[in-house]
Amino acid sequence: MQSSYWNKVLTGRISRRRALAATGATAFILACGGDDSGGGGLAFENADNARAPGKVWNSGNDWKLADESKDAVRGGIYRGSLSEDQAGSFDAHTQAPSQVLFSGHVHEYLMGRHRGPGIDPASVEASNPIPVLASAWEFAPDGLSATFTLRPNVKFHPVAPVNGRVMDIDDWKTSAERFLALSPQRVPMMDTVDHFEYPDSTHMVWKMKFPYAPLGSRIWSERYGFQIIPKELNADQDLARSLSIGTGYKILDKNQPAISMEYKKHTEYWDGDPFIDRWHAPIIPEYANRYAQFVRGNIQAFTPSAREVLQLAKDVPQAVIVAIPPPDDHISRIRFGRANQKTLPWKDARVRVAIRRAIDFKGIGEFVANKQAFEAGGIPVEVFSRTHVTRGASYWLDPEKGELGKFSDNYLFNIAEAKKLIEASGVSGLIEIDYTVLPAGGGQVPEEDQLTIDRLQASGLFNVNVVRSQNTVAHRQCRSLGQCDGLVQSSTSEDVDHVIFRDYHSEGNTEGEQAYPDPRIDRAAENQRKEMDPQKRIEYLKEFQMLAAEIMPAIPYVHQYTSFSFRWPWLHNLNYGQVETSGEVDGAVMPEGRPTWGGHKQWLDEDMPNRDRGAL
């Protein structure tokens, strides 16, 4: 990877990036000859709006876009896609989020993530949740209670047996009770909420077990809060499994396994009639097929691999190129299975550190990001190390800057040092280790997993056995529950408190003790969530990072990097609700109804080709 060369390049790019930031520039330029296919003549130019064809828009500036609702044109069909099928039933309270893809469209929570026109994601305003099914909330200054007010006149979908009736406090009560009784996501709430109270027909009070500082940044999360489901479905498990009924602005209209999912608008949505009529999402597992469907205009958005960004820009010169900065709330790590973790070589922390040091995660990140080709063309690509927490600006410690002291080296690639660590642990010979994956379309191992496996194997220290999961359910049993041996990669976007407790606190795993618990980590984890003083909480978060760097209870994954997605310039009000793509190499998904509220305000351009035609 020619590290000395890239160190010089990065120094130059960082200076240039700071200069661009100082002048308010928001996008990048690719000089002629900058593509990796040897061709020339392609130029990426600054976009002064989010729908400028053939230009680059920086999605970090979405919040600066104006509200376009006054110019909205009603109607049309949004053409999305899904790369995998709905895996479970329609009972969103009894299954993991990955098994109930529909739920983010039809169900809503008490509160939502606060994003929209004029809401800077880095602001205090954005850190506070926005009322959704609750019309208001009050979090007590001592952190021991939260009171939610029922929003009046919210109607459920007009589907029998609920038939569009108005939501009441019993829907909240039965949803909360069923969630706590059955949901695989219930542990975080059970750990923090002592009980619920209902002083009258319009209020719900959460009594906390202790002052819970992160509540405002977790209340909207599908890994903490509960969906509001009609009391009729909460009372009848057969109905809950067979029907999709919520309050969201989309109604699930058709579900054809392995073919498509289709939604129609909820005309009596509590905040007004949505602008778009329908949303169609065919199931397209194959990357090449999704690529082709986007080029033909059959789907709205697509995220190519970094090495195909330049080619796709040539194939669809009228599409908008979107630069996606590395998110600061995303975590990706390799977890250890819990089947025989106390007897295998990596029970010793030195072996776990050696695994991290044997893999060039920075090099993999730069390769997957196509950094060399972009940099050669003048496009700065940011690459950040992953650690054991999300990259929050106020608390994150960067090992590549030595901010973790002597433990910073534990994150840095060095095969010779990895070998010394293994020898010091007393282990001799090649270490046999399983690596569980979820194959993509065509049965291929996902690229970043394959590169990680290759580097681990090439180190000469490990012999990797690739274990292929048959489906998402089997993969989750290893990834989330630890029902396997060896290694498995897992990613999520979440608040730092969720990451710390779910991955590292001894009682955070829903199936039992973590693979490698430590009482010091438990104390730091508990202290940071109970501390209401922001500055003191930051110090506890830093203490946790030092401990995690020392014992390496999981292996932080491939470095984060700038990515690029493409979309046709047909969708307006982009800064309301969810965006179309996740920033990862995947098919475009339809914008969901949560956790970011406001997707019903999105609308389709009057000049959109085949505006009333669904997905093929």
- Predicted confidence at residue 96, as pLDDT, reads 85
Q: Residue 561 corresponds to which tokens in the numbers above?
A: 């990097």
- Predicted confidence at residue 240, as pLDDT, reads 96
- Predicted confidence at residue 377, as pLDDT, reads 75
**Is there a contact between 185 and 222 (Cβ–Cβ < 8 Å)?**
yes
**CA torsion angle for 120, 122, 127, 130 (degrees, to 10)?**
10
> What does the alpha-carbon distance between residue 28 and residue 57 come to, in Å, rounded to a whole number?
9
Q: List Cβ neighbours of 9 (8 Å cut-off, separation of 6 or more).
A: 375
Domains 3-75+262-325+562-604 and 108-244 agree in fold? no
Which residue carries 């005309």 as its tokens? 267
> What does the alpha-carbon distance between residue 353 and residue 459 come to, in Å, rounded to a whole number?
14
> What does the alpha-carbon distance between residue 148 and residue 140 come to, in Å, rounded to a whole number?
11
- Predicted confidence at residue 20, as pLDDT, reads 28
**Is there a contact between 62 and 50 (Cβ–Cβ < 8 Å)?**
yes
Measure CA 135 to chain center.
27
Q: At 585, is the secondary structure helix, strand, or coil? A: coil
Give me the CATH code for the 108-244 domain, please: 3.90.76.10
Beta strand 145-150 pairing with 203-208? antiparallel
Give me the CATH code for the 3-75+262-325+562-604 domain, please: 3.40.190
Measure CA 276 to chain center.
25
Consecutive 10-residue runs of the chain (616 residues): their mean pLDDT?
28 32 34 39 71 89 94 96 83 88 94 93 88 97 96 98 98 97 91 96 97 93 94 97 97 92 97 97 90 94 89 93 89 95 96 98 94 83 94 93 97 98 96 94 86 97 95 89 95 90 88 92 95 93 97 97 92 87 54 91 96 80
Domain ranges of the chain: 3-75+262-325+562-604, 108-244, 330-561
Q: Residue 386 corresponds to which tokens in the numbers above?
A: 């992953």
Burial of 20 (0-12, 13-18, 19+ CB in 10 A): middle
- Name the CATH superfamily, with its identifier, for domain 330-561: Dipeptide-binding Protein; Domain 3 (3.10.105.10)
